[in-house]
A = this chain, B = another copy of it.
Amino acid sequence: MACRASFMGAASGSRALSTMGGGVVVKNASHLPCWSLALAGPTALLRRRHRAPSAPRCFAQSVGRRRAKLTAEAYPELRRDERFGRLTGEDVAFFKDLLGSASVVEAEADIEPFNEDWMHKYRGQCTLVLRPASTDHVSRILSYCNDRLLAVVPQGGNTGLVGGSVPVFDEIVISMARMNRVHSFDDASGCLVVDAGCILDDADAYLAARGHVFPLDLGAKGSCHVGGNVSTNAGGLRFLRYGSLHGSVLGLEAVLPDGTVLDDLSMLRKNNTGYDLKQLFIGAEGSIGIITKLAVNCPQRPAAVNVAFLGLASYRDAQRAFRQAKVHLSEILSAFELMDARSQELVHAVRRDEKRPLEGEHPFYCLVETSGSNGEHDYAKLDTFLEHVMSEEIVADGVVAQDATQIKSLWAWRESVPECIGHWGGVYKYDVSIPLPDMYAIVDDVKARLTEAGLLGDTDQHPALGVVGYGHMGDCNLHLNVAVRRYDKRVEQALEPFVYEWIEKRKGSISAEHGLGLAKKKFIKYSRNDTMVALMQQIKHLYDPNGIMNPYKYV
């Protein structure tokens, strides 16, 4: 209660709104601005610089191991489809003639990064990487591969989490990295036309210089390609504000497996002339064609960003706080993130030198972000929201970032969760959507299940050390993670299919934003009925009758 009182006092008391830049410190119980003890450590820049080398290890990787197990060994039930052709010297000569030798990668060492995902969880056996520079290149490559029945894997930044962008056997990788130009930007309408291989961060930097923002933001933005983002229908951190890519993508150009160029690169916000075929490619994970260009509707860049970090007594309070954030922050609410106590304990255990945002410990934490055109207005709204949730005893304690550095540091307590919880060995990761009222209950149920089986505990005898829940509460999107000391078959058996059945019962989704890839292909039935799966397979067959596109994955 002392915390709450001091928080409230500061929130409604002595601050001068007129001095606002990015936010104001709200003192906690110690009566010291908590930021004076420094949060702006090395993790502050984590998000912007996220690249494969700094990635967390997954449970599938032994400590110290540098390469992933071959996917073919990890999934022994998979067999190479012998309908597919085997690469010949003639094939390679054709590709060299088309692309030039420098864009045909054959050396094993050079191929390695294309064969393995950044988590070192999946490793394929590809022996050829092609680097097209134009839509025409992509079209000729696919047409040739389709005729020769050579299987292919389109690859963007290779930052996926479900093994969708790496080969399983000897599929040819088509890397989109050379197709990375911005073609045009219309300042009035906000329409950006860009190659699929453009890195998200580069596209956003281009827009930032022009007062606009890419309507998508995620941890891997320094590596991922916009084409990959659209192919996997990435959700990310600003989904709450800018919505789905199904709404933001105005047009796209894609190449079908037979080499046909689907030119749907409309730059118009409204275009009701027939079926919206481009929508099928958004989230198709490269299974029916390769996206080569995009036209994206980009909003005005927010002039002001504010972030508050709250401590709450229960998940019910977190829901109440979210409801109030919608009322008070409405059009400027850009993120509402949930983290449970265990997730923050584990982050703290790794980042011992960093002072935690709040002094006391709380069962739940929420990070609330606003993005708007007027910092003073936004802060006033945030202030009203905070006063309301404090006076109604919805929130127990909280802090508001004072500047951009503090905003990044607060975000780091949310964004470093996936890295930190892998510190002790590995993590079982589930990216799920669950209707809000039930969303957190799955964490308690998994915890109880593992405890009962004697698998979760504080000693080294227990393979699992923590079950944590965090994620994008504003989107009903939970990341359920089980931190383990080592791989243990019993943990996996306790988790699956339990987790999927649990989600099926609540009409949730087994993949909220990560996609199906290889990892979740076989679990789709928990989120889609037989009719839906059959209709999806019909679409796959329609566009890719030879099945050469990204085989062994998706539907």
Q: Which residues of B contact A329 (CB under 8 A)?
A: 373
Decide: A512 and B271 in contact? CB cutoff 8 A.
Answer: yes
> 8 Å CB contacts to B: which residues of A201-256?
211, 232-233, 235, 239, 243-244, 246-248
Q: Which residues of B contact A13 (CB under 8 A)?
A: none
- Report Cα–Cα, A243/B244, bound state, in Å: 10
Residue of B at shortest CB range from A527? Answer: B273
Contact for A477 among B239, B269, B377, CB less than 8 A: B269
Q: Which of A119-127, A165-173, A490-498, A528-536 contacts B (4 or more CB under 8 A)?
A: A528-536
Q: Which residues of B contact A190 (CB under 8 A)?
A: 326
Q: Which of A22-30, A71-79, A340-348, A430-438 contacts B (4 or more CB under 8 A)?
A: A430-438
Given contacts A284-B275, A373-B329, contact A433 B300 (CB under 8 A): no
A218 CB, min distance to chain B CBs, angstroms: 13
Residue of B at shortest CB range from A539? Answer: B275
A410 CB, min distance to chain B CBs, angstroms: 22
- Report Cα–Cα, A540/B277, bound state, in Å: 12
Q: Which residues of B contact A284 (CB under 8 A)?
A: 275
Q: Which of A43-51, A144-152, A257-265, A306-314 contacts B (4 or more CB under 8 A)?
A: A257-265
- Report Cα–Cα, A504/B312, bound state, in Å: 57
Decide: A272 and B233 in contact? CB cutoff 8 A.
Answer: yes
- Report Cα–Cα, A374/B370, bound state, in Å: 15
Decide if A413 is an interface residue (CB 8 Å cutoff).
Answer: no
Beta-carbon contacts of A368-394 to B below 8 Å, as 1s and 0s? 000011100100110000000000000
> 8 Å CB contacts to B: which residues of A268-287?
268-277, 279-280, 282-284
Decide: B433 and A555 in contact? CB cutoff 8 A.
Answer: no
Decide if A507 is an interface residue (CB 8 Å cutoff).
Answer: yes
- Report Cα–Cα, A302/B274, bound state, in Å: 33
- Report Cα–Cα, A374/B528, bound state, in Å: 41
Decide if A511 is an interface residue (CB 8 Å cutoff).
Answer: yes
Decide if A405 is an interface residue (CB 8 Å cutoff).
Answer: no
Decide: A532 and B274 in contact? CB cutoff 8 A.
Answer: yes
Q: Which residues of B contact A542 (CB under 8 A)?
A: 538, 542
> 8 Å CB contacts to B: which residues of A317-338?
319, 322-323, 326-332
Decide: A270 and B239 in contact? CB cutoff 8 A.
Answer: yes
Q: Which residues of B contact A261 (CB under 8 A)?
A: 531
Q: Which residues of B contact A330 (CB under 8 A)?
A: 299-300, 302-303, 372-373
A485 CB, min distance to chain B CBs, angstroms: 30
Residue of B at shortest CB range from A301? Answer: B330
Decide: B188 and A513 in contact? CB cutoff 8 A.
Answer: no
Decide if A524 is an interface residue (CB 8 Å cutoff).
Answer: yes
Decide if A187 is an interface residue (CB 8 Å cutoff).
Answer: yes
Decide: A268 and B508 in contact? CB cutoff 8 A.
Answer: yes
Given contacts A319-B188, A374-B377, contact A273 B516 (CB under 8 A): yes
Given contacts A247-B244, A538-B542, A542-B538, contact A528 B436 (CB under 8 A): no
Q: Which residues of B contact A531 (CB under 8 A)?
A: 260-263
- Report Cα–Cα, A50/B532, bound state, in Å: 39
- Report Cα–Cα, A550/B437, bound state, in Å: 41
Q: Which residues of B contact A381 (CB under 8 A)?
A: 373-374, 377
Provide 30 A-B residue pairs closer than 8 Å at the C-beta atoms, listed in order of the A residue: A186-B436, A189-B436, A190-B326, A239-B269, A262-B532, A263-B531, A264-B532, A268-B434, A268-B512, A269-B477, A270-B509, A271-B527, A272-B509, A272-B515, A273-B516, A273-B520, A274-B532, A274-B554, A275-B280, A276-B279, A276-B280, A279-B279, A279-B280, A300-B327, A328-B373, A330-B373, A331-B331, A377-B380, A377-B381, A538-B542
Decide if A5 is an interface residue (CB 8 Å cutoff).
Answer: no
Q: Which residues of B contact A476 (CB under 8 A)?
A: 189, 268-270
Decide: A274 and B437 in contact? CB cutoff 8 A.
Answer: no
Residue of B at shortest CB range from A435? Answer: B267
Given contacts A233-B272, A274-B524, contact A188 B436 (CB under 8 A): yes
Q: Which of A243, A329, A539 has the most CB of B within 10 A?
A: A243
> 8 Å CB contacts to B: which residues of A29-78?
none
Decide if A397 is an interface residue (CB 8 Å cutoff).
Answer: no
10 cross-chain pairs, A with B, having the tightest CB-CB distances, nearest first? A247-B247, A279-B279, A330-B373, A268-B433, A270-B512, A271-B509, A377-B377, A273-B527, A331-B331, A243-B247
Q: Which residues of B contact A131 (CB under 8 A)?
A: none
- Report Cα–Cα, A153/B266, bound state, in Å: 29
Q: Which residues of B contact A513 (CB under 8 A)?
A: 270, 272
- Report Cα–Cα, A402/B264, bound state, in Å: 44
- Report Cα–Cα, A167/B327, bound state, in Å: 45
Decide: B475 and A270 in contact? CB cutoff 8 A.
Answer: yes
Decide: A433 and B269 in contact? CB cutoff 8 A.
Answer: yes
Decide: A273 and B511 in contact? CB cutoff 8 A.
Answer: yes
A371 CB, min distance to chain B CBs, angstroms: 8
A548 CB, min distance to chain B CBs, angstroms: 18
Decide if A510 is an interface residue (CB 8 Å cutoff).
Answer: yes
Decide: B435 and A235 in contact? CB cutoff 8 A.
Answer: no
A369 CB, min distance to chain B CBs, angstroms: 13
Decide if A414 is an interface residue (CB 8 Å cutoff).
Answer: no
Residue of B at shortest CB range from A322? Answer: B188
Decide if A514 is an interface residue (CB 8 Å cutoff).
Answer: yes
